[in-house]
Amino acid sequence: MRCVSDFFRVALTVAGKDLRVELRSRTALVSAITFAALVLVIFNYARDPAEISREALAPSVLWITFTFAGVIALNRSFSLERENAALDGLLLAPVSRSAIFLGKYLANLAFVLTIEAVTLPLFVLFFSVDVHGNLAGIGVTAVLATAGFVAIGTLLAAMTVRTRFAELMLPLLIFPFLLPPVSWAAQITTRLLAGRPVSEIVGWMRLITLYDVVFVTLCLLLFPSLVDE
Amino acid sequence: MTGSLQATAAPLLQAISIERRFGASRVLRGVSLEVGPGECHLIVGPNGAGKSTLLRILAGLARPSSGELRVFGSPWSADVASRQGVSLLSHQSYLYDDLTPTENLLFAARLHGMTDPLGSARVGLDGVGLTGRGDEPVRRLSRGMVQRVAIARALLTAPRLLLLDEPFSGLDPEAAERVIGLLRKQMAAGRGVILVSHDLHEAWELATHTHVLVRGEWKVSGPVQGSLESFLGQYRDALRE
């Protein structure tokens, strides 16, 4: 029992530190939100209204924006540990490596969900999409889809942080892992915005949940061997 | 007091024939070291001799290619217990520039599960003479002040074994004297210190053992004998070999 409480104490300490650093510098949040707003503006003006309806394009645009803005935030996650070799300081502490991963993961999840929460009203504004009545569904979908790809992103960010092209490597490596949750989330969003019955989205929701369970568990197990030389 | 600790207590650290290879290059060649309570082992050597690599291995941040490492009597392993009671001060500060010294120490104290993190952080900053500077972001502090915060972080948990890489770097004479006093207290409390330093005048005040590392192997190794001048002579001879 003591072991479990220590595990979560360490995870919350690491997450709290990351949130405090980000609130102080706002580097990742400002960059990701600015990027998200620019993507939405470009998609809005690049679309040919006569050929492609807003409703057809909106779900894909929303998830493209969420994921790429999320990757920007994930890149920051371990780059702050690279400054002054702070990651070595973390690894020297007599604490579970998996607890460190969980802390980094929780902080990243909070960042990316915050970015999504700020981006969603901009999306509604630019695409004039009526989310009234679907907000809870879109929120649950966002949390479920984000939980999985942030876990993979956190692991890959730890892997790429010591490489020369860390900012390039993370989007490249995460890409294959992003495809399943993002495509499932886009399918759910399309049906939610079209007012389709819940029975049509339950299958996708189950797939995303399974993806989350598998990848969060795998990442928790793999992180220690990744950071130990 | 130091002598009695050395005579009776089990070694804090035993490194036996440590080798470290990077590809074809052998950075450490059969280095052995035994550190007892209250001892301070001063390691010197030219740049690239393998001093920092040795410290990283002793701290558990890197693994030896061969050889045996025992910490507090147990074989070193990657589990949590092996990292308990060992602290490393490296060239890098391990600090977060956007946080204040107090927040950095508070984070380290919480990570180690200390019972009074804030109290420990304040005592730590007080110890290195930074009581009034605890609430400024680290990025605004001078190089010497950052080094003092890093030293406070390394000493925060009262580790039984301290590994220090250039602790006097960037410190003014007053701060260096303060750090020597802090380290003397640690040694008097039975803690072991391994000190890598080019500031030999400061380091000599603490050293109980000296080692000269050249191209990954000891050229001189043993208890302090004679004066700093005679040691410097040995050091120069080792470099010429």
B114 touches chain A (CB under 8 A): no
Nearest CB partner across the interface for B88, out of A92, A95, A224: A92
How many angstroms separate the first and last alpha carbons of chain A? 30
Chain A residue with minimal CA distance to B156? A93
Give contacts of A 62-101 with B, CB under 8 A. 80, 83-86, 88-96
Per-residue model confidence as pLDDT tens digits over B142-177: 999 999 999 999 999 999 999 999 999 999 999 999
Chain B 129-158, CB below 8 Å of chain A: which residues?
Answer: 137, 153
Structure tokens that stand for B30 in this block: 């059969």
pLDDT per residue as tens digits for the range B39-61: 999 999 999 999 999 999 999 99
Determine the Cα–Cα distance for residues A179 and A187; give it in Å rounded to an integer: 12
In the prediction, which pLDDT does B1 show?
40
User: Cβ separation of B83 and A94 shorter than 8 Å?
Assistant: yes
Q: Does B62 touch chain A (CB under 8 A)?
A: yes
Tell me the C-alpha to C-alpha distance, in Å, between residue B35 and each of A229, B90, B91, B157.
Answer: 24, 19, 22, 19
B64, B14 contact by CB (below 8 A): no
Q: What is the pTM of this model?
A: 0.90
DSSP chain B: -HHHHHHHSPPSEEEEEEEEEETTEEEEEEEEEEE-TT-EEEEE--TTSSHHHHHHHHHTSS--SEEEEEETTEE--SSHHHHTTEEEE-SS----TTS-HHHHHHHHHHHTT-S-HHHHHHHHHHHTT-GGGTTS-GGGS-HHHHHHHHHHHHHTT--SEEEEESTTTT--HHHHHHHHHHHHHHHHTT-EEEEE-S-HHHHHTT-SEEEEEETTEEEEEEE--S-HHHHHHHHHHHHH-
ipTM of the shown complex: 0.88
* Cross-chain residue pair B80–A94, CB shorter than 8 Å: yes
pLDDT one-digit tens code per residue, A65-76: 999 899 988 888
pLDDT at A229: 66
Kindly state whether A138 is in contact with chain B, defined as any CB-CB distance less than 8 angstroms: no
Nearest CA in chain B to A86: B94
> pLDDT tens digits, residue range A137-177?
999 999 999 999 999 999 999 999 888 888 889 999 999 99
Nearest CA in chain B to A15: B107
Contacts 24+ apart (CB under 8 A), B72-76: B72/B12, B72/B13, B72/B160, B72/B161, B73/B10, B73/B11
Average confidence score pLDDT of chain B: 92
Partner A contacted by B109 (CB < 8 A): no
Nearest CA in chain B to A10: B111
Look at the block and give the residue holding tokens 């019972």.
Answer: B115
Q: CA-CA distance, A9 to A113, in Å (whole number)?
A: 22
Query: Which residue in chain B has the smallest CA separation from A227?
Result: B61
Partners of B113 on chain A (C-beta within 8 Å) are: 6, 9
What is the C-alpha to C-alpha distance for residues B153 and A6, in angstroms, rounded to an integer?
21
Cβ A61 vs Cβ A40: under 8 Å: yes
Please count the other Cβ atoms lying within 10 Å of the Cβ belonging to residue A1: 5
**C-beta separation of B171 from B144 below 8 A:** yes
Q: For residue A143, give both structure tokens.
A: 């949390």
| Cβ-defined contact of B113 to A9 (cutoff 8 Å) | yes
Number of A–B residue contacts, CB under 8 Å: 75
B90 in contact with A at a CB cutoff of 8 Å? yes
Per-residue pLDDT of chain B (241 residues; tens, 9 = 90+): 444 444 457 899 999 999 999 988 999 999 999 999 999 999 999 999 999 999 999 999 999 999 999 999 888 877 777 788 999 999 999 999 999 999 999 999 999 999 999 999 999 999 999 988 999 999 999 999 999 999 999 999 999 999 999 999 999 999 999 999 999 999 999 999 999 999 999 999 999 999 999 999 999 999 999 899 999 999 999 888 7
Binned at pLDDT 50, 70 and 90, residue A53 comes out as confident
Write down the pLDDT at residue A1.
Answer: 66
Cβ contacts of B107 on chain A, cutoff 8 Å: 13, 17
Subunit contact A17:B99, Cβ cutoff 8 A: yes
